[in-house]
Structure 1
Amino acid sequence: MPNNTKKSSQRRRFKVPSEFGQARQSRSRKNRPCDACRKRKTACVITSTPPCLFCKGRGIECKSSASDSVASGSALSASLFASAPAPQDATQDGPSSNSESPRIALNNIRPSSHSDSIEVIPAPCLQTLEDNENRTAHSMGPAAEQDTHFLASFRSDVLSGPNQIDAEFIQVYKGSEYPWDPPVHFCLLQDEFTAHDNIAREEASRAIEELVEPHGPTLIRLYFRHIHPVLPVLSKVRFLRQYTDDKTKLPASLRGAVYALASVFWKSEPSLQGSLHFQQHELADLATGSLQRELDSPNLAKLQASLLLLHMTPNRTDSIAHPRTWTSTAQAVAAAQMIGLHQDSEKWNLPSWEKRLRRKLWWATYMTDVWSAVCHGNPPHIYATSFNTSPVTMDDLRSEESIPEDLRSLVYSSNVGFDVASGARFLELVKISQTLREVIDCSLWLSHISRLAPPDSQKMEMKNRGRLVSLQGELHNWVTILPQCLTMPHLEGAISIISNNAPLHLAYYAHLALLYRALMNPATKVAKAMPSSSLRLWFGTALSDFASFTDFMSELNPENLRCFWGCHARSQLILCGNFIIYLFVLATESGDVTSAFSLLESFHDTLQRLNRQVDSISQLLLLPVSLRIDSFFTQAADRLRGGPVADSTTTTTSTLVAAPISLMNNP
Structure 2
Amino acid sequence: MHDAAASGPPQLRFVPARCRYTQSPLLTESPNAKTVVAGLFCKSRGLTCKSSPTPDEISSQQDGAADSTTENGASDAELVTPPAIDSSPSLARRSVSHSSPADTIQSSAGLSAAGDLSLEQQSSGSAAVVHQGLVRQNSDGLDQPSYGVSPPVPILSNGPLHTLEDNFNRTAHSMGPSAEQDTYLLDAFRCLIISENDEIDANIIQVYPGGPSADDRPVHFLLLENENPDFTNEAKQSASDGTERLVWPYGERLIRLYFKHVHPIYPVVTKGRFLAQYKSNRMKIPASLRGAIYGLACVFWDRDPTIKEACPFQQHQCIDHAHEALRREHENPTLFSLQAGLLLHHITPPDVDSVETPSMWTMTAQTTACAQTIGLHQDPTRWSIEDWEKRVRKKLWWAVYAADCWSAICHGNPPHISPTTFSTLPPDMDDIRADETVPEDLRYLVEPEDAVFQASVGARFLQFINLTIVLRDVLDCAFQVRPNPSTLADRTMQLVMMRDKFNDWHSLLPQCLALGPERGPDTISNCPLHLTYYATQALLYRGLMYPATRVAKANPESNLRKWFVSALTEFRGFVDFFNSITEEDLRGFWCRHARSQFILCGNFLIYLFLLASDQTHIAAAYQLLQEFHQSLKRLGETSHKPGRLLIRPARLRLDSFFRQAATILRGSEASVI
Does the CA-based 8 Å contact 1:341-1:362 persist in structure 2?
yes
Cα separation, 2, equivalents of 1:311 and 1:165:
40
Shift of 1:448: 4.7
List per-residue Cα deviations over 1:644-663 (Å, max 9, x = no partner): 7xxxxxxxxxxxxxxxxxx9
Kindly tell me: are residues 318 and 537 of structure 1, through their superposed partners in 2, closer, same or farther at Cα, counting changes over 3 Å? same
CA offsets 1:295-334 (integer angstroms, 9 cap, x no match): 0011111110100011110001011111011000000001
Aligned partner of residue 488 in structure 1, secondary structure: coil
Q: Which amino acid aligns with 1:508?
A: Y
Q: In the alignment, what sits opposite 1:181?
A: 216
- 3-state SS in 1 of match to 2:222: strand
* Conservation of the 8 A alpha-carbon contact between 1:86 and 1:348: no
The corresponding residue for 2:204 is 169
Cα 1:71–1:283 shift into 2, 3 Å: closer
Q: 1:324 aligns with which of 338, 354, 359?
A: 359
The CA distance in 1 between the partners of 2:363 and 2:581, in whole Å, is 31
Q: Give the secondary structure class of the aligned counterpart of 2:571.
A: helix
* Cα distance change, pair 499–603 in 1 and its aligned pair in 2 (3 A): closer
**Structure 1 partner of 2:494:** 467
Change (3 A) 1:573 1:58: farther
Does residue 245 (structure 1) correspond to residue 292 (structure 2)? The answer is no
The SS at the match of 2:174 is strand
Partner of 2:27: none
Whole-Å separation in 1 of the counterparts to 2:110 and 2:379: 29
* DSSP 3-state at the match of 2:382: coil
State the shift of 1:618 in Å: 0.9
Deviations 1:256-280 (A, max 9, x none): 0000000000012223211111100
Q: Deviations over 1:24-67 (max 9, x none)?
A: xxxxx9x99664999689xxxxxxxxx999745479xx9999xx
Per-residue CA distance 1:413-454 (angstroms, 9 max, x = gap):
110111101110111111110010011111124x754xxxx9
- By how many angstroms is 1:385 displaced? 1.0
Does structure 1 retain, via aligned residues, the 8 Å contact 2:638–2:644?
Answer: no
Matching residue within 633, 654, 669 for 1:629: 654
Residue number among 425, 437, 452 corresponding to 1:390 in the alignment: 425
Structure 1 counterpart of 2:23: none
8 Å CA contact 1:230, 1:425 repeated in 2: yes
Quick one: which amino acid aligns to residue 386 of structure 1?
A: T
* Cα distance, 1:358 vs structure 2: 0.2
1:24: which partner in 2? Answer: none
Aligned match for 1:293, one of 322, 328, 343: 328
SS at match of 1:564: coil
The aligned residue for residue 3 of structure 1 is: none
Return the letter of the residue paired with 2:400. Answer: T
**1:169 Cα deviation (Å)?**
1.1
Match of residue 562 from structure 1: 587
Q: How far, CA to CA, are the matches of 1:482 and 1:8 in structure 2? A: 74
**1:36–1:497 Cα change, 3 Å:** farther
Measured against aligned partners, the alpha-carbon deviations of 1:498-542 in whole angstroms (never above 9, x if no partner) come to 850000000110010011011111111111111111111110000
- From 539, 543, 568, give the equivalent of 1:518: 543
User: Contact (CA 8 Å) 1:360, 1:396: kept in 2 or not?
Assistant: yes
Contact 1:86 1:351 in 2 (8 A): no
The equivalent residue for 1:653 is: none
What is the DSSP-based 3-state SS (H/G/I as helix, E as strand, rest coil) of the residue aligned with 1:189? strand
TM-score, length-normalised on structure 2? 0.79
Indicate if the aligned counterparts of 1:34 and 1:64 stay in contact, CA closer than 8 A: no
Q: Does the C-alpha gap of structure 1 residues 8 and 476 become closer, same or farther in structure 2, counting only changes over 3 Å?
A: closer
Contact in 1 for aligned 2:535/2:597 (Cα 8 Å): yes
Q: 1:250 to 1:54 in 2, by over 3 A?
A: closer
Residue by residue, what CA displacement relative to the aligned partner does 1:80-127 show, whole Å, maximum 9, x if unpaired? xx9995667xxxxxxxxxxxxxxxxxx8xxxxxxxxxxxxxxxxx552
In 2 relative to 1, CA 161–75 (structure 1 residues): closer, same or farther, beyond 3 Å? closer
Cα gap change, 1:564/1:151 in structure 2, threshold over 3 Å: closer, same or farther?
A: same
**Cα RMSD after superposing both structures:** 3.3
Q: What stretches of structure 1 of length at least 5 have no aligned partner? A: 1-6, 15-28, 42-50, 89-106, 108-124, 645-662
1:543 aligns with 2:565: no
Structure 2 unaligned blocks of 5 or more: 1-52, 61-68, 81-86, 113-146
Task: Establish whether residue 344 from structure 1 lines up as the match of residue 376 from structure 2.
Answer: no
In the other structure, the counterpart of 1:553 is: 578
- Give 1:486's match in structure 2, choosing from 513, 523, 533: 513
Between the aligned partners of 2:595 and 2:100, the Cα distance in structure 1 is 62
Residue deviations 1:337-383 (CA, integer Å, cap 9, x gap):
11111101000000100000000000000000000001110010111
Checking the alignment, whether the CA contact within 8 Å between 1:421 and 1:499 is kept in structure 2 is no
Aligned partner of 1:193 in structure 2 is: 228
Q: Give the Cα–Cα distance (whole angstroms) in 2 for the partners of residues 64 and 143 of structure 1.
A: 29
1:34 and 1:299, CA in 2 relative to 1: closer, same or farther beyond 3 A? farther
Closer, same or farther: CA 187–498 of 1 in aligned 2, 3 Å: farther
Does structure 1 retain, via aligned residues, the 8 Å contact 2:606–2:625? yes
263 and 10 in structure 1: CA distance in 2 versus 1, 3 angstrom threshold: same
**Structure 1 residue identity aligned to 2:515:** M
Aligned CA distance change for structure 1 residues 141 and 462 (closer, same or farther; 3 Å): same
Does 2:311 align with 1:283? no
Q: Aligned residue for 1:411?
A: 446
Determine the C-alpha separation between the residues in 2 that align with 1:268 and 1:520.
Answer: 45
2:277 and 2:284 in contact (8 A); partners too: yes
2:607 is matched with which residue?
Answer: 582
Does the 8 Å contact 2:91/2:168 carry over to 1?
no
Tell me, in whole angstroms, the C-alpha distance in 2 between the residues paired with 1:153 and 1:601. Answer: 69
Alignment of 1:534 with 2:547, yes or no, is no
Mark the CA change 1:383 to 1:638 in structure 2 (over 3 Å): closer, same or farther.
same
Inter-CA distance 303–64: structure 2 relative to 1 (3 Å threshold): closer
Query: Percent identity, aligned pairs only?
Result: 46
Q: Aligned with 1:129: secondary structure?
A: coil
Counterpart amino acid of 1:157?
A: L
Specify whether residues 666 and 617 from structure 1 end up closer, same or farther in structure 2 by C-alpha distance, changes over 3 A only.
Answer: closer
CA distance 1:633–1:200, shift in 2 (3 Å): same
CA distance in 1, matches of 2:307, 2:366: 36
**How far apart are the structure 2 equivalents of 1:221 and 1:235?**
14
Superposed CA deviations along residues 211-232 of structure 1, whole A, max 9, x for unmatched, are: 0000000000000001100110
Q: Relative to 1, partners in 2 of residues 1:384 and 1:201: Cα closer, same or farther, differing over 3 Å?
A: same
**Corresponding residue SS for 2:277:** helix
C-alpha separation in 2, matches of 1:135 and 1:616: 42
